Structure 1
């Protein structure tokens, strides 16, 4: 009797962009990846929500600026209809308001469209694996904002009075704010990677946040870490 192994499930992706040629180009690039499947598309944020609700993809690749409804505006509804779906903004906008708006809305990453084509697939895998991604040119803006927040005092007393994190959750949050991934945090704290994932999930639930990046902003704002 011969046994066959189950094929690895593909990462299911929905592409949202108002330019049809760009959507087709992304589909062509991603079609060469054995572990990624484009299962749907939409031309704006309004259509994206309906498509995501129907297909429940693993990842949404979404532009920021689109007619009818922007990608940032759609993020909240995408999360409402598909809480486990990761949102990766793929845009030409280098506007810091778009970057900060996307993070506040719960995006898991913000990439510029000039990223090499082969990096798009790696970025999809990374957000599915729990990472938060920011294009290097935009990361400087984010770090500058973090530093400014850090120099200011805590601004929301109500947050400080909210649900308390355990000592271990605080340690995990500090490591997140230093840019470490789950595996590196596990090594630093001497715990398993699965335990780190559980702590991260609990942190986000307790603080009512949507992404690791939001958790980093919280840690800096509340002076749990200092940035130069």
Structure 2
């Protein structure tokens, strides 16, 4: 059975690294590698609009520019992303999974066959992770579930990723300058409940303080 051709764009801040990835992918008969911005000065779209596109992003580490590029790529219609990573800290791993990255490959393991397999997995809507990352992800999800269960209070379940409505309500009032007592009065919660909501949220999302939590909510469009 013939494999359906997949449209691919390649993204990297370093032109030489990007050229290396393109050389790995361009001669694969099941892939159509299109230029993104920078190769011909304009963005190209797939010839068949209904086909999913796969973006391959090379990043040595997850920093602000990488996360901004991930958000840009994942805003596209039915876009799927394969991340070729040099290193991933545990908070970074959860972040890229939450953003919607479909497959991750270690840079030093990015052979032609691994790239091809990851691109086709992403195009099918499936995930692909190195075994060591699967173990790390499961361990971290387990820790976060336990932390969420310990910090949850009456008023509804708390999602593993993202924010529950009551968390958004608390952060919106916090962003308006209200303190714990004023927030508890506005929402008819006890002050202890407000503190528990904030503690559980910051633990789950690895946020360092209340200002960081408000900044995260603003950046992600919750408030």
Cα shift readout 1:72-123 (whole Å, capped 9, x = no counterpart): 222223222x130101111101322222211121211222112233110011
Pair 1:24–1:77, CA change in 2 (3 A): closer
CA contact (8 A) 1:17 1:62 kept: yes
TM-score (norm 1): 0.54
Rounded to whole Å, the distance in 1 between the matches of 2:63 and 2:103 is 22
Rounded to whole Å, the distance in 1 between the matches of 2:3 and 2:104 is 27
Pairwise CA RMSD of aligned residues?
A: 3.2
* Pair 1:106-2:96 in alignment: no
Rounded to whole Å, the distance in 1 between the matches of 2:144 and 2:11 is 32
Rounded to whole Å, the distance in 2 between the matches of 1:134 and 1:120 is 12
Cα shift readout 1:152-182 (whole Å, capped 9, x = no counterpart): 34466365788xxxxxxxxxxxxxxxxxxxx
Partner of 2:6: 11
Partner of 1:28: 23
Structure number with bigger Rg: 2
Question: Which residue, 128, 136, 153 being the options, matches 2:123?
Answer: 128
Deviation at 1:137, TM superposition (A): 2.4
CA contact (8 A) 1:17 1:42 kept: no
Partner of 2:220: none
- Which runs of 5 or more residues in structure 2 are unaligned? 47-51, 166-203, 205-223
- Which runs of 5 or more residues in structure 1 are unaligned? 1-6, 44-49, 163-216, 218-228
Deviation at 1:63, TM superposition (A): 2.4
Pair 1:125–1:159, CA change in 2 (3 A): same
Rounded to whole Å, the distance in 2 between the matches of 1:103 and 1:13 is 20
Partner of 2:45: 55
CA contact (8 A) 2:102 2:126 kept: yes
